Amino acid sequence: MKEAREKEHEAYMRTLTPDDIKRENMFRAAQRKAGKSRKSNIKDPNAPKKPLSAYFMFLQRIRANPRLVADIFGDETETTKQSVLAAAKWRSMTDAERQPFLAQAEQEKMEYESARRLYEEGTTGFGSSINFSILPGSPHFPIVKTESESESEGFMTDDGSERPSRSS
């Protein structure tokens, strides 16, 4: 039952628009400020993912190549010490050696900015790298209410007004 509820919740979260999420996050912030709730803001699952920085692309390349792992990390297996070694290697690199990572990071950042702009406008555009597997109103993921959800259709806010459920 827990897995089914989590799947339903994930499908529901994907149906929310950016405006719905902003409104809910403002409501949660007001509740936290008033000391009535400790719920954190919700993250938009449909939003484009932020790209990696040049340094993290460098780390990704190291970890993908066993020879580089052996060269840079040696016999070190502890993650924190590996991070120190990788950071030292990054700092010792010349600008020319860093350039491919910086260029790729800049390119991905520009793609992210355009994808984010399109997402906030409510469109995805053709040829975009945004991966929306579930769109609001998608026929592949219809919203089905369970008995427990239909019984608790709305709830009362602290000021006495009824706040409707977003699943309808």
Hey, what domains does the chain have and what are their CATH numbers? 1-46+132-168 (no CATH), 47-130 (1.10.30)
pLDDT value of position 37: 84
pLDDT value of position 88: 93
Count CA within 13 A, CB hemisphere, residue 18.
Answer: 11
pLDDT in tens, the chain (168 residues): 999 999 998 888 888 888 888 888 899 999 999 988 888 888 888 788 999 999 999 999 998 988 988 888 888 888 899 999 999 999 999 999 999 999 999 999 999 999 988 887 875 543 344 443 333 433 333 333 444 444 444 444 555 555 555 544
Residue whose entry in the numeric block shows the structure tokens 């977003």: 166
pTM over 0.85: no
Tokens (6 digits) for 168: 């309808």
Per DSSP, 29 falls in state H
Count CA within 13 A, CB hemisphere, residue 45.
Answer: 12
pLDDT value of position 16: 82
